[in-house]
Amino acid sequence: VASKQKTANATGLETFDSYLPAGVSVAELTSVIEQYNRDERVDGILLQLPLPAPLDGAAFVRLIAPEKDADGLHPSNQGLLLQGAPAPRPCTPLGVMALLDVAMSGIALGDGTTLTDIPKASLAGKKAIVIGRSQLVGKPVSFLLLERNATVVMAHSKSPDLPSLCRDADIVVAAVGVPNLVKAEWIKDGAIVLDVGINRLPSGKLVGDVDYESTAKKAFAITPVPGGVGPMTVAMLISNTVENCYRRNGIEIV
Ligand code: NAP
């Protein structure tokens, strides 16, 4: 949350924050969301999930005005994603796609090069596997890959023989939540690996879902944890908010 606020302010966005106690009532949280829905200064609303029990996060996300949804998680926006229609897309999947474009373009960011300079890669003919099928990451990233013409396998905890499914893939997206699940032997030479997982080991160290050290030697490109998909997710939150502002004001998004 701190990183989201810091990045928003650094890019010139004004932020409004409501820190609510864990025991907040349904009525109070509803009223806070409705207040931001009505506030004309606000283009992006983010409800930080998960909510403490017994509050139902999905039910509160449904209260956010879809045109102000910064996370792309409102059911209307998820439906528009399925239809391939314009709408805010979930931030982590957008971050994954942006990093994939960076890897496939071979252009390094920095020295004035920005994401808008990176061409959208053609994924026609590429095989992708997405491990994990959550609403937040796995499902939407699968649809974004499909939208770009990749052939996508959606794997999950009941998928048999994950290693051989992975070995067939040019693009591996791991969004599981199991430390170092994906091993170098599962990766085809030259594949691109996008590690969404954020797992804290008992030692306190943060690691992804992919065994980074060994896989980095085999992959064409791999995202580190921390410092890969996480910061790009924050960047996409800002991008979604700006795009919401454009849409709400009838400005064309190029
Ligand atoms: P989630 O809702 O818990 O979903 C995990 C998915 O992984 C489920 O679909 C589950 O399958 C599958 N899975 C679990 N164990 C598996 C196994 N051994 N083999 C194959 N599939 C398995 O998690 P999530 O919200 O998608 O998050 C996934 C990870 O990404 C977490 O580490 C989370 O912290 C991280 N994350 C990072 C960011 C970021 O900004 N970088 C954002 C969001 C999440 P079933 O459906 O069959 O149970």
Whether 6 sits among the annotated catalytic residues: the reply is: no
Q: Is the CB of 157 under 6 A from ligand 1?
A: yes
Q: Compare 81 and 109 and report the one with higher pLDDT.
A: 81
Q: Is the CB of 233 under 6 A from ligand 1?
A: yes
Place of tokens 């937040």: 136
Q: Give residue 254's pLDDT.
A: 77
Average per-residue pLDDT for the chain: 96
Question: How many Å apart are CA 90 and CA 71, to the nearest integer?
Answer: 5
Whether 35 sits among the annotated catalytic residues: the reply is: no
Question: How many Å apart are CA 240 and CA 224, to the nearest integer?
Answer: 24
Cα dihedral value 62, 66, 69, 75, nearest 10:
50
Closest CA to 144 of 94, 99, 191, 105: 94
Examine the pLDDT at 116 and tell me if it is beyond 90. Answer: no
Query: What DSSP character marks residue 192?
Result: E
Residue nearest to atom 12 of ligand 1 (CA): 132
Tokens of 213: 């050290």
Q: Is the CB of 44 under 6 A from ligand 1?
A: no
Tokens of 76: 């209307």
The helix-helix angle for 91-105 and 229-248 (nearest 10°) equals: 110
Q: Per residue in 46-71, pLDDT tens?
A: 999 999 999 999 999 999 999 999 99
Whether 189 sits among the annotated catalytic residues: the reply is: no
Q: How many whole angstroms from 136 Cα to the centroid of ligand 1?
A: 9
pTM value is 0.96
Question: How many Å apart are CA 230 and CA 224, to the nearest integer?
Answer: 9
Q: Is the CB of 230 under 6 A from ligand 1?
A: yes
CB 45 within 8 A of CB 37: yes
Query: What DSSP character marks residue 212?
Result: H
Query: What are the distances in angstroms from CA 212 to CA 80, 95, 105?
Result: 35, 19, 22
Q: Give residue 110's pLDDT.
A: 79
Residue nearest to atom 2 of ligand 1 (CA): 134
Query: What DSSP character marks residue 186?
Result: G
Query: What are the distances in angstroms from CA 214 to CA 28, 75, 180, 183, 210?
Result: 49, 39, 10, 7, 9
Question: How many Å apart are CA 18 and CA 254, to the nearest integer?
Answer: 33
Examine the pLDDT at 234 and tell me if it is beyond 90. Answer: yes
Q: Is the CB of 88 under 6 A from ligand 1?
A: no
